[in-house]
Structure formats: C-alpha cells, structure tokens
Amino acid sequence: MLWREDVEEAKKWIAKLRRETSLLEELRPKASKLWRRRDSWSKPGFEHRFVAGDGSLATRVTSYRFFYLARAIALSNDRESRKSKFEVLPKSEGPPQQLKGVDDLEKHAKAMMSLLEVETISSLAEAEFPLLLFDGSLGTFLLPSSTIAPSIRRERNSLLYKLYHESSFTAFISKHSSLNLYQQHAEELEELRGYIPDNALFSTMPAGYSIPLRLTAGEIYGIGDLHGPWRSEVVTVFCARLTPSAPILRVEALGDLSDTELEKLLGAIYSISSNGYPSPLREAHLKVKLREDELEALLKTLKLDIEPTGREVLGYYGGSRIRI
C-alpha cells in the first residue's frame, strides 16, 4: 500500500521529468540531421569468421561468506567455448584496514566475469582477421577491477588489446546505454545541453545509423580510469537500427573507422542478424544465462553448509542475485 508520503515525494520529480521530455522533443529534429537512413545494407565484401560472446553472474551472500558463479560463452561459425569460475570468499580478511565489504566482493566477481568473456572469445579467434562481437559497452570490459585480485584488470585489458589488433573489426553492442556522447560532442546539439542518452535521442529514427563520433577511450570513460594504451585508443561510436522494427543499438567499434569501413561492419553484422539483432549474440545470451536456482543447486550438489544470512527473521530464505 502506498503511503501519502510516497506520493508527495514522487511529485517532486514531475517538473524535472517534464523538462527532460520537452528537451528530448527539441533535440530530435536536430538529431535527425545526424542520421543516415538505409533501406538496405550492402554485403560486407569479404569472407570472415565471426566470434560473439556473453557472460552471466550469480552471487549469494551469507552472514560471513560470499559465493559467486561466473561464466562466459563464445560462439563462432562452427564452434563454441565455455568457461566458469566459482569462488567462496570471506566477507572479512586480514586486519580491519583490509576488510572486504560486499561491494568489493561483487566488483571482484564482475571483473572475473569480464575476464572470462574476453578469454572465451580469444580461444576461438584463430582465423585471420575475424569479426569480434561483445555484448555490452566497451566500458563494461575496460573498467571493472578487483581489489582482491588487481591482476585481473591488467590481464583482461592486455588480452583485449591484442584481440583488437588481430581482428578486422571488434565491436561492442549495447541494447541499453546511459551515455549521452552526442549531446556532449556533436556541434549540432551544443545549444541544447542536458542529459538524454544516445539511444533515446535516436529512438524514433528509421533503419540506418548515426553519423559516427570518433573519440578516444579516455574521452568516453575518463582518462583517470584507464591505463596504458587504452587511454588514447580511438573508438568509433554510433547508434544503428538494422531494420525498421529493430531496436536501436549502440555500437562502439575499436579504431578510427572510415565511413566505408563502418558500412562494411554494419553489413557484416546485418548478414548474421535476425529481427535486427546479431543472432550469435542472442544465442550466446540464451546459452550463458544463469537461472536463479542454479547457484543454489550447485551449492547443494557440493553439499556445502550454507549458514543463515540473518534475514530469515524477516522471512527471507536463500536466493541468489543474478547478473547478465
């Protein structure tokens, strides 16, 4: 049952939400000038092998332990690669200044999942100049770090850099993104600054793609958060809709792609897509997805004694947190 206080608190946001809606309506006519309509896509014009991957994560927190199961899968034209990582970590370790809270432990698990995703794709990327497709933004692979195992980030980012320089195209595809790079960097929109995500900005556009932004990874994700060659690495960023009824996809392609190369990339992605989304990424997602009961089943299989969480007094029992 809603409280009166709940409603009064929500009303405070009405004016802000209306301003955002008004700003979006003002931006869309200008955004349409940044859109290249395509009624058809050209064939890529080259033979290639594709590799696409995805990952999933389930966690379980008890009164003094943290359990997680991370896994990743990569699919190529005719093969697949799978990897899993299971760990049981104490919620505290060492002297007080080294205590690890749940946030630190979850960050470690996410970093491990991203490493598994890069490793599985790497294990299949044997053909010369393959097309590599990652599910999610570039940032979800470059930024996750672990205070428990700092080497994860270095190992993952080095391997990702190697993959990029051995592939014809390396693209990160997001169905949902909160970044608003076009408002920040497109001159056509400079008079209407605000915070409208790129995917929302182009959500009413027909099949086609936005005029790309060519930015460094440091400009996109913050130089302070990146190390080594990734700071200055150029990324070609754009939104695309492959068919009239398809969702808007946000694409980050590694490298300074020319317009011709960008069209080849989109043609290659379209050639392996169904309903406007890459079929290998959809298949990888369905195969890797962890169900809520699977970590619990694993713990029971191992006959691990799961101590109470302390929340049983409120009626909560078991339950894993799932991330994909």
Q: Which of 40, 41, 48 is nearest to 267 (CA)?
A: 41
Residue whose entry in the numeric block shows the structure tokens 């930015």? 215
DSSP 8-state class, residue 250: E
pLDDT band at 158 (very low <50, low <70, confident <90, very high): very high
Burial of 109 (0-12, 13-18, 19+ CB in 10 A): buried
* pLDDT tens readout for residues 91-148: 765 555 455 678 899 999 999 999 999 999 999 987 666 899 999 999 999 999 999 9
* pLDDT tens readout for residues 64-77: 789 999 999 999 98
Pairing state between β 50-61 and 131-135 = parallel
Looking at per-residue pLDDT, the higher value among 21 and 75 belongs to 75
Distance, first Cα to last Cα, the chain: 31
